[in-house]
């Protein structure tokens, strides 16, 4: 048995063990029914296992400009954490088992396992069978998109047919080594999965299980993807579909500013719940366990005294520097990376600004911001030029979505459009920089994956 097959089988067994307390099926003694789930209940327990599912990568958060470290704190990190912070050509520094790659493809493997078994089940055409099918397709698309935005270039229509994409693993078979598709093919597969998923998912938002998708989640994800692709017309089309079905915002005056975890696991803005993968524990934890990452003063100074996000998003260290509190999923640990309505309002505002509709862009942005300021203090934003409106939207996007792992992808797409944003950091007196459109904006494929599969590496 080759190493890759052994690893996948071991991972599958571990997931079953983690989930064993959750159902009678998984309480059974080891048998073929555990390694080969066959019922709809079996399939649902696999997808509901949030120990493995509903996680996204963390390299983008490590590399983005949303935190700073002291020299002493930087030295305590793993090789990957230290190197990603300074944008090293070799961010892993000999580390193996990189979670951003391995855990995302583990999720894809489980989705494929469910889809393969479900296709052979007589229950596939039942309401529950169709829901599970849509769920697995959505999760696969969600994971593949996360892999694309971390391990591929920003989408460029003129080069996407030749740019490197990701290996598209569409079955649960683990013996075939899949080479990389093109970037165009990779996005096409994501869209194919989401088009099939939306017809199988319920319209109603789940009241509790927000790890499970519903139709609005498909439209929200498509809006995010098309924004990343700089296809603003399609981003707006999908954000409209999402907002037409679910558009609730929270009045931050009702949120307890003093809580280290201000939001609940079912807060009204959540659409789909994912968190950063459990890795990089020295640099990126949040909430009651904020680690050593500090929010740069330049970011803190963007928030006015009446902006409730300052006290709701951030806590203070004893030295009066700031850290990020737990995110929208109401769980301490790692940053929230899922889908929420506040992001939809920002996408709509940006699309309107890019269309030259400055006034309408500000109207949409103000609908969000009035819920973020102390009652009676918000002065609506106004703009008469598209460029000024866009600048205001992008500033609020940075402030609202901080530590949501959107910043890295935003910088990549803005640089493709000519923003010419260069990141810089200083560690131990040495200045490190990442120029716009440098190859290091794309993370390399982990060396152990290259050794096993021989897939093509990203240029460095």
Q: What is the pLDDT along the chain (460 residues), one digit of tens a residue?
A: 333 333 333 343 433 333 333 333 333 333 333 357 889 999 999 999 999 999 999 999 999 999 999 999 999 999 999 999 999 999 999 999 999 999 999 999 999 999 999 999 999 999 999 999 999 999 999 999 999 999 999 999 999 999 999 999 999 987 778 999 999 999 999 999 999 999 999 999 998 999 999 999 999 999 999 999 999 999 999 999 999 999 999 999 999 999 999 999 999 999 999 999 999 988 998 876 667 999 999 999 999 999 999 999 999 989 999 999 998 998 878 999 999 999 999 999 999 999 999 999 999 999 999 999 999 999 999 998 999 999 999 999 999 999 999 999 999 999 999 999 999 999 999 999 999 999 999 999 999 999 999 999 999 9
Q: DSSP character for 68? A: B
Instruction: Pick left, alpha or beta for residue 291 (phi over 0 → left; psi -120 to 50 → alpha; otherwise beta).
Output: left
Nearest to 314 by CA among 340, 296, 337: 296
pLDDT in tens, 24-54: 333 333 333 335 788 999 999 999 999 999 9
Q: What angle do CA 399, 239, 147 make, to 5 degrees?
A: 70
Give whole-number Cα distances, 349 to 235, 381, 392, 394, 427, in Å.
Answer: 11, 12, 10, 9, 37
Taking the C-alpha atoms of residue 406 and residue 81, their distance in angstroms, rounded to an integer, is: 18
- Sequence-distant (6+) residues with CB within 8 A of 108 are 140, 143, 144, 169
Taking the C-alpha atoms of residue 401 and residue 398, their distance in angstroms, rounded to an integer, is: 6
pLDDT in tens, 295-324: 999 999 999 999 999 999 999 989 999 999
Record the pTM.
0.92
Give whole-number Cα distances, 151 to 31, 59, 186, 291, 417, in Å.
Answer: 38, 10, 12, 26, 19
Show the DSSP H helices in 51-125 as ranges.
59-63, 71-74, 79-85, 99-119
CB 382 within 8 A of CB 362: yes
CB 389 within 8 A of CB 383: yes
Taking the C-alpha atoms of residue 332 and residue 272, their distance in angstroms, rounded to an integer, is: 17
Strands 55-56 and 275-276: parallel
Domain boundaries, the chain: 3-453
Q: Which CATH class is domain 3-453?
A: mainly alpha
CB 163 within 8 A of CB 152: yes
Classify residue 441 as exposed, middle or buried by CB count within 10 Å of its CB (0-12, 13-18, 19+).
Answer: buried
């Amino acid at each position: 048995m080759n190493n890759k097959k052994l690893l996948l089988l071991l991972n599958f067994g571990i997931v079953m063990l983690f989930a064993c307390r959750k159902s009678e099926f998984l309480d059974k003694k080891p048998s073929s029914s555990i390694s080969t789930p066959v019922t709809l209940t079996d399939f649902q327990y696999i997808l509901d296992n949030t120990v493995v599912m509903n996680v996204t990568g963390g390299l983008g958060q490590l590399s983005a400009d949303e935190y700073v470290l002291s020299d002493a704190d930087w030295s305590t990190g793993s090789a990957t954490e230290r190197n990603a912070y300074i944008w090293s050509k070799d961010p892993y520094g000999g580390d193996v088992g990189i979670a951003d790659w391995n855990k995302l493809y583990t999720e894809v493997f489980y989705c494929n396992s469910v889809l393969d078994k479900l296709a052979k089940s007589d229950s596939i055409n039942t309401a529950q069978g169709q829901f599970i099918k849509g769920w697995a397709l959505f999760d696969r698309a969600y994971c593949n998109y996360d892999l694309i935005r971390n391990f591929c270039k920003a989408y460029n229509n003129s080069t996407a047919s030749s740019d490197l994409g990701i290996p598209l693993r569409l079955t649960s078979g683990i013996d075939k080594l899949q080479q990389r598709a093109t970037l165009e093919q990779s996005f096409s597969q994501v869209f194919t999965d989401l088009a099939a998923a939306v017809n199988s998912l319920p319209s109603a938002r789940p009241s509790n299980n927000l790890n499970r998708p519903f139709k609005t989640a498909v439209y929200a994800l498509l809006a995010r993807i098309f924004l990343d692709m700089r296809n603003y017309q399609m981003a707006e089309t999908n954000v409209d579909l999402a907002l037409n079905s679910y558009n609730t915002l929270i009045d931050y005056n009702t949120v307890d500013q003093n809580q280290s975890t201000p939001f609940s696991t079912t807060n009204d803005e959540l659409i789909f719940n994912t968190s950063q993968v459990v890795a990089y524990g020295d640099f990126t934890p949040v909430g009651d366990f904020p680690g050593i990452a500090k929010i740069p003063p330049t970011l803190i100074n963007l928030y006015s005294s009446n902006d409730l996000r300052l006290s709701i998003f951030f806590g203070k260290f004893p030295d009066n520097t700031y850290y990020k509190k737990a995110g929208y999923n109401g769980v301490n640990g790692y940053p929230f990376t899922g889908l929420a309505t506040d992001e939809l309002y920002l996408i709509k505002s940006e699309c309107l600004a890019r269309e030259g509709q400055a006034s309408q862009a500000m109207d949409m942005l103000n609908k969000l911001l009035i819920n973020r300021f102390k009652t009676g203090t918000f002065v609506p934003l106004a703009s008469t030029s598209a460029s000024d409106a866009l600048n205001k939207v992008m500033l609020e996007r940075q402030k609202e979505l901080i530590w949501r792992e959107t910043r890295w992808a935003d910088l990549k797409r803005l640089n493709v459009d000519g923003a010419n944003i260069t990141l810089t950091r200083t560690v131990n007196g040495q200045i490190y920089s990442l120029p716009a459109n440098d190859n290091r904006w794309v993370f390399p494929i982990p060396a152990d994956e290259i050794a096993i599969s021989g897939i093509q590496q990203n240029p460095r």
